Amino acid sequence: MSTDTFLPTDVPPTRPSHKVEQLKPDLLLHTNHHLCPGCGEPLVLRELLEVVTELGAAERTIGVAGIGCYTAFSSAIDLDLIQALHGRAPSVATGAKRMLPDRLVFTLQGDGDMVNEGLQEVIHTAARGESITCVLLNNGVFGETGGHMTSTTVIGQRTKNTLEGRDGSYHGYPILIGDLLAQLEGTVYAARGSVHNAAAVASTKRMLRKAFESQLRGQGFSLVEVLTMCPTGWFIPTADGPGYLDDVLGTVHITGELKADGKLVTTAELRARSQERARRQSAPGQEAERV
Amino acid sequence: MADITSRGTVTIATESCKGCDLCIPACPPKVLSMSEDVNAMGFRYPKLRPGCTGCGACALVCPDFCFEVFQYEVPVTHGAETR
Amino acid sequence: MQRLIEGSEAIADAAVAAGCRFFAGYPMTPFTELLEHLARKLPEVGGTCINAESELEAVGMAWGAVATGARSATGSTGQGLALMQESFSEMTLAGLPLVIFNMSRGQADYFQSTRGGGHGDYRHIVLAPMDVPEATELTQLAFHLADRWRNPVLVYGDYLLAHTYESVEIEPIDYGTLPAKDWAVDGSAGGSGKSRLVSSLGMSKDPKRSVDPESLWKDVAKRHREIEATEVRVECGFTEDAELVVVAFGTAAKFVRYVVRQMREQGVPVGYVRPISLWPFPYSALAEAAERATRVAVFEINAGQMIDDVRLSVLGRAPVVAIGGISTDASGFGVGRLLDTEIIRERIESALKGQEVPV
């Protein structure tokens, strides 16, 4: 039989087997959505909802959606939800959590929402040590308006209003929001994940779980920033999204844990570590000397 | 020809697919490829060849919730029946 | 038990008596004392008061709290409320029963209160107490009406109301039963297929109308028409045979009422209309009073704002003249020389004679 023979994939297998990945998370009412092809945001949503289910927290969770493309999912997520205004989700989550302290309360925000419009809200919420989890979907553009510069857009990145690429001397420099929040005393957990490949998605899921667990222990504020593809806003083919994320956003907003178990790690340190790893991989024989 | 073994398989909701191609490079055994045909929305969609390991990577990177992933209790060697 | 307390404390006590359990605010004169009192009183009853880092965050926190079904409020002075307007208009669309306190500087926020500074088609019920005892009642009524209509209600006070000490007794007032808050998001419905969504965007989990802003906006407009037909509150005095009807609201109305009563005792044919609800405005009551009057005078401590609604009520039945005006103390926060019964009397007498009053 040739490898060019395609197998039927319209119905589940009849042979004995077990399911390892569901079509959709239990907490998603349906899979219809209007987000663009190649968008990274649904990948985060899948993992987030799975973590809520795995923690057995579906019946005590309140989500607060900011304003961005992901807002469209609020009619499909089977959790109690509040839609906030652009930027205001951390404050709305604060009010809900103060009234119902035993609930798992999270926000879903984009970089435009959290790092532009609502920067002071998320900083103050973290500083207050509110036991909520803010989930940032960071693609470095205003996706919903069609690809405009945000506060996390990296130097050189083309957007609709930085057509020649973001120029630091003219447009200013990107904010590393994870670092900013990690250093606050009220923040107990901060991590930056990505969804540009399956391993990164799995790692992001672990970050979401750790953040939610820290919240359920009442320890304080947690942030999970996730780099997501936006091929529409980046003006590239969908298939190039993961590579662009890794090469452009991913070299500035380096992934890894920024604060966990009381230990603070800066993005600069994460960058040095990743460069070290890359050096070892390219010259494995010299590994012993460098360590 | 050499026998190809599938340790797992997938279902694909081809009508939900928006043809982004993300699953193609994400598949470790490289057994997914895009169709020539298009679905009702006009998008090409992935098709499965033998050799799936049931790892689930395709489901993790699919923005449109198209994949359901299974691992066989006993690996299937292709040549006879395949599902 | 009667107690001699500051207006701000009385309003705080009334809010607590009404079941308010969440407040967030940012200090600003002359609202600050209300925040201070609530910061002390709410924790005593298991509630929460947050000294928010900004007005934007204060209203956001109140949004989250009220969405869980808890009676919640925020407040400020007009300047601070200006920063909250985007949230106020969206909370109206989201059907959230927020109570808002404006301890304003003078009466310059009539437009802001009744027209709003936000976007879109929205209205707030606005209640304007004339003194501390009435404020304790209207504060409790505000929480009731907010829940009844699922609409923000604004209590419009001022420097004098916030800082005057009066003897009051504050007991919970029963305004009747209310529907259960089955819309409230308490986090318990996840995974049931019947989870809830508090949305100002016209979104719902019903797949047949997952995004439907037009229906939402029509529902809100319908709700506002029902409120207009139901919730008008007004006090009229001597209007059945008044030649001159004086219109005033809030603390200014208490001064006007005193002067008009005094003049009546002396046989002067004057009357007054005191809108208690600024929205819905008592258009009909005023139209009826103007039917028999030869002149209508408006006394408000601003450059002329409510006078627009008075003109809309009177619709040319009688001349409408302004006899109030801008008046403040040196700080810009407090009460100016105009709020004085002798000056008000002089101005009413001028209006009776058909003389112009400098505003």
Q: What is the CATH number of the domain that holds A254?
A: 3.40.50.970
CB-defined contacts A:B, below 8 A: 154
CA gap A225, A85 in Å, rounded: 20
Please enumerate in sequence order all residues whose Cβ is within 8 A of that of C255, keeping only pairs 6 or more positions apart, or say none.
Answer: C248, C339, C340, C341, C344
The yes-or-no reply on B/A contact (3 CB pairs or more, < 8 Å) is: yes
**CB-based burial label for C106 (10 Å; 0-12, 13-18, 19+):** buried
Coil, strand, or helix at residue C311?
A: helix
CA gap C98, C102 in Å, rounded: 13
Look at residue A241 in the predicted model and tell me its pLDDT: 98
CA gap B6, A160 in Å, rounded: 46
Contact (CB<8Å) B60/A202: yes
Task: Measure Cα distances from A59 to A29, A133, C192 in Å.
Answer: 15, 17, 8
Is residue A8 situated within a structural domain? no
Cα C349 from chain centroid (whole Å): 30
Q: Over 70: is that where the pLDDT of A280 sits?
A: yes
Contact (CB<8Å) A81/C200: no
What does the buried/exposed string (b/e) look like for A257-269 if buried means 16 or more CB atoms within 10 Å of the residue's CB? Answer: bbbbeeeebbbee
Of A14, A21, A37, the CB nearest to B59: A21
Please enumerate in sequence order all residues whose Cβ is within 8 A of that of A93, keeping only pairs 6 or more positions apart, or say none.
Answer: A62, A64, A84, A105, A106, A107, A125, A130, A132, A134, C64
pLDDT confidence bin for C208, thresholds 50/70/90: confident
**Given the DSSP bridges, would you call strands A80-83 and A104-110 parallel, antiparallel or unpaired?**
unpaired
Q: Please name the chains neighbouring A, where neighbouring means 3+ C-beta pairs under 8 angstroms.
A: B, C
Task: Measure Cα distances from B38 to B34, B47, C339 in Å.
Answer: 10, 12, 77
Side chain identity at A224, as an amino acid letter?
A: V
pLDDT confidence bin for B78, thresholds 50/70/90: confident
Contact (CB<8Å) A23/B64: no
| A88 in reach of chain C (CB within 8 A) | yes
CA gap B70, B57 in Å, rounded: 12
Main-chain phi, psi angles of C244, to 5 degrees: -120, 125
Q: Over 60: is that where the pLDDT of C113 sits?
A: yes
Quote the longest CA-to-CA distance of chain C: 72
* List of chain C residues whose C-beta atoms are within 8 Å of the C-beta of residue A57: 190
| A233 in reach of chain B (CB within 8 A) | no
Give, to the nearest 10 degrees, the angle between helix A89-99 and helix C55-67: 50
Coil, strand, or helix at residue A278?
A: helix
Q: Tell me: the pLDDT tens digits for B59-70?
A: 999 999 999 999
Q: Tell me: the pLDDT tens digits for B40-64?
A: 999 999 999 999 999 999 999 999 9
**CB-based burial label for C176 (10 Å; 0-12, 13-18, 19+):** exposed
Question: How many C-beta neighbours within 10 Å does residue C43 have?
Answer: 11
Interface test with C, best of A59, A60, A75, A215 (most C CBs within 10 A): A75
Look at residue A1 in the predicted model and tell me its pLDDT: 44
Look at residue C335 in the predicted model and tell me its pLDDT: 87
Contact (CB<8Å) C60/A29: no
Coil, strand, or helix at residue C342?
A: helix
As a residue count, chain A comes to: 291
Q: Which two tokens stand for residue B26?
A: 């994400």
| A49 in reach of chain C (CB within 8 A) | no
Main-chain phi, psi angles of C331, to 5 degrees: -75, -20
Find out whether C345 and C262 touch, Cβ atoms under 8 Å.
yes
Alpha helix segments (H runs only) across chain A: 41-54, 89-99, 111, 119-127, 168-171, 177-182, 198-216, 231-234, 241-244, 267-282, 287-290
User: How many angstroms separate the CA of residue C198 from the nearest CA in chain A?
Assistant: 5
ipTM: 0.96
All structural domains of chain C, each given as residue ranges with its CATH number in brackets, are 3-168 (3.40.50.970), 234-352 (3.40.50.920)
Mean pLDDT across the stretch A219-237? Answer: 97
Contact (CB<8Å) A19/B69: yes
Q: Tell me: the pLDDT tens digits for C153-184?
A: 999 999 999 999 999 999 999 999 999 999 99
| Residue of chain A with shortest Cα separation from C58 | A91
Contact (CB<8Å) A20/B57: no
User: How many angstroms separate the CA of residue A7 from the nearest CA in chain C?
Assistant: 33
Is residue A211 situated within a structural domain? yes
Please enumerate in sequence order all residues whose Cβ is within 8 A of that of C267, keeping only pairs 6 or more positions apart, or say none.
Answer: none
* List of chain A residues whose C-beta atoms are within 8 Å of the C-beta of residue C210: 75-76
Q: What's the CA angle centered on C330, arms C328 and C334, to 5 degrees?
A: 45
Q: Tell me: the pLDDT tens digits for C69-98?
A: 999 999 999 999 999 999 999 999 999 999
Q: Tell me: the pLDDT tens digits for C323-347?
A: 999 999 999 998 899 999 999 999 9
Which conformational region is residue C271 in: left (phi greater than 0), alpha (psi within -120 to 50 degrees), or beta?
Answer: beta
Q: Please name the chains neighbouring B, where neighbouring means 3+ C-beta pairs under 8 angstroms.
A: A
- Beta pairing partners, C24: C50, C74
Is residue A20 situated within a structural domain? no
Q: Which domain holds residue A68?
A: 41-290
Q: Over 70: is that where the pLDDT of C116 sits?
A: yes
User: How many angstroms separate the CA of residue A250 from the nearest CA in chain B?
Assistant: 17
Q: Over 80: is that where the pLDDT of C204 sits?
A: yes
Q: Among residues C278, C250, C273, which one has the least CA distance to residue C115?
A: C278
CA gap C35, C27 in Å, rounded: 7
Considering the four listed CATH numbers 1.10.10.10, 2.40.160.60, 3.40.30.10, 3.30.70.20, the one that applies to the domain covering B5-73 is: 3.30.70.20
| A34 in reach of chain B (CB within 8 A) | no
What does the buried/exposed string (b/e) look like for A45-69 if buried means 16 or more CB atoms within 10 Å of the residue's CB? Answer: bbbbbbbbbebebbbbbbbbbbbbb
Cis check for the bond before C280: say yes or no (omega within 30 of 0). Answer: yes
CA gap C75, C103 in Å, rounded: 8
| Residue of chain B with shortest Cα separation from A194 | B61
CA gap C217, C240 in Å, rounded: 40
Contact (CB<8Å) C52/A91: yes
pLDDT confidence bin for C359, thresholds 50/70/90: low
CA gap C125, A167 in Å, rounded: 49
Task: Measure Cα distances from B75 to A272, B1, B55, C14 in Å.
Answer: 43, 18, 13, 72
User: How many angstroms separate the CA of residue C47 from the nearest CA in chain A?
Assistant: 8
Judged by CB atoms within 8 Å, which residues 186-245 of A form the interface with C? none
* List of chain C residues whose C-beta atoms are within 8 Å of the C-beta of residue A184: none
Range scoring the smallest mean pLDDT among A63-67, A250-254, A285-289, C253-257: A285-289
Is residue A23 situated within a structural domain? no
Element (H, E) at C287: helix C283-292
Q: In what order do the strands lie in the sheet with B67-77?
A: A17-21, B67-77, B5-12
**Domain total for chain A?**
1
CA gap C237, C257 in Å, rounded: 8
Look at residue B1 in the predicted model and tell me its pLDDT: 46
Contact (CB<8Å) A31/B65: yes
Find out whether C30 and C6 touch, Cβ atoms under 8 Å.
no
The yes-or-no reply on C/B contact (3 CB pairs or more, < 8 Å) is: no
Give me the residue label for tokens 């308010």: C20
Name the average pLDDT for chain B.
Answer: 93
- Beta pairing partners, C48: C22
**Given the DSSP bridges, would you call strands A187-194 and A256-260 parallel, antiparallel or unpaired?**
antiparallel
The yes-or-no reply on C/A contact (3 CB pairs or more, < 8 Å) is: yes
What does the buried/exposed string (b/e) look like for A165-175 if buried means 16 or more CB atoms within 10 Å of the residue's CB? Answer: ebeeeebeebb
CA gap B39, A143 in Å, rounded: 26
Each domain of chain B, given as residue ranges in start order, spans 5-73
Which conformational region is residue C345 in: left (phi greater than 0), alpha (psi within -120 to 50 degrees), or beta?
Answer: alpha
* List of chain C residues whose C-beta atoms are within 8 Å of the C-beta of residue A71: 201, 203
Q: Tell me: the pLDDT tens digits for C183-194?
A: 999 999 999 999
Interface test with B, best of A4, A5, A22, A23 (most B CBs within 10 A): A23
User: How many angstroms separate the CA of residue A13 from the nearest CA in chain B?
Assistant: 5
CA gap C186, C161 in Å, rounded: 36
Is residue A15 situated within a structural domain? no
Contact (CB<8Å) A37/B20: yes
Of B62, B72, B78, the CB nearest to A15: B72
Contact (CB<8Å) C56/A91: yes
Q: Among residues B12, B10, B8, B11, which one has the least CA distance to residue B71?
A: B8
Q: Over 60: is that where the pLDDT of C285 sits?
A: yes
Q: Over 90: is that where the pLDDT of C206 sits?
A: no
